[in-house]
Chains A and B, each alone.
Chain A
Amino acid sequence: GAVVSQHPSRVICKSGTSVKIECRSLDFQATTMFWYRQFPKKSLMLMATSNEGSKATYEQGVEKDKFLINHASLTLSTLTVTSAHPEDSSFYICSARDGSQETQYFGPGTRLLVL
């Protein structure tokens, strides 16, 4: 089946630093990738949709300058949390859509802790 990886799986950083999270589709090409955020015991919240080679589309209330998304190839999208603060601590999950079907496959998630 389709596999999506994320790296790192967990990261701890100091307040004010930037953190980059990578999302890769390993065995299929993903023209569209999605970034979600999930707080404890809550549902996933869509942050942004990224299409290969174009600018990401951000959901209402998500700061584009805070959460930089790059989708430079059909198998890689990155999310950079800039100037991270403790309130950015969360579980970040990416997904990739197989262009041949309407199915999203999710990565394992990245746990971010900002001290």
Chain B
Amino acid sequence: LAKTTQPISMDSYEGQEVNITCSHNNIATNDYITWYQQFPSQGPRFIIQGYKTKVTNEVASLFIPADRKSSTLSLPRVSLSDTAVYYCLLSGYSTLTFGKGTMLLVSP
């Protein structure tokens, strides 16, 4: 059973780069790593997905080391509106289990 572990909370300031790491020691060979953002009373919003190495899109980058036992979501130049809970999720043939997520608080 693949399980993910993230820091419970992180604090940052506007304009800074934020890196959130997720540990997944038991990731399966065919699992993809997906990160979501959730605001209160809303469904999670897809941010980025990867399998290995580095993936970048218009909002974030995802770094995955060769052993794939962890992944790091990088948010460049965060703003106040990035205050939310961030989840990493393994998808594939593993049972889908959301971790507790990371509450990111961005201050002025």
Contact = CB atoms under 8 A, between A and B. Distances in A.
Chain B interface size band reads 20 to 34
B87 A102 contact: no
Interface of B: 32, 34, 36, 41-46, 49, 87, 89, 91-92, 95-101
A102 B44 contact: no
Q: Which 8 A-B pairs have the closest CB atoms?
A: A106-B43, A102-B32, A44-B98, A106-B44, A109-B43, A43-B98, A102-B91, A108-B43
A55 B77 CA distance: 45
B43 to A, nearest CB: 4
A103 interface: yes
Contact of B96 (A4, A34, A101, A103): A34
Interface residues of A, number: 25
Nearest to A91: B41
Contacts, number: 55
Interface of A: 1-2, 4, 6, 34, 36, 43-46, 49, 91, 93, 95, 97, 101-109, 111
Contacts of B98: 36, 43-46
Contact of A105 (B46, B87, B99, B101): B46
A106 B36 contact: yes
Contact of B34 (A6, A46, A104): A104
A45 B101 CA distance: 12
B97 A111 contact: no
Nearest to A97: B91
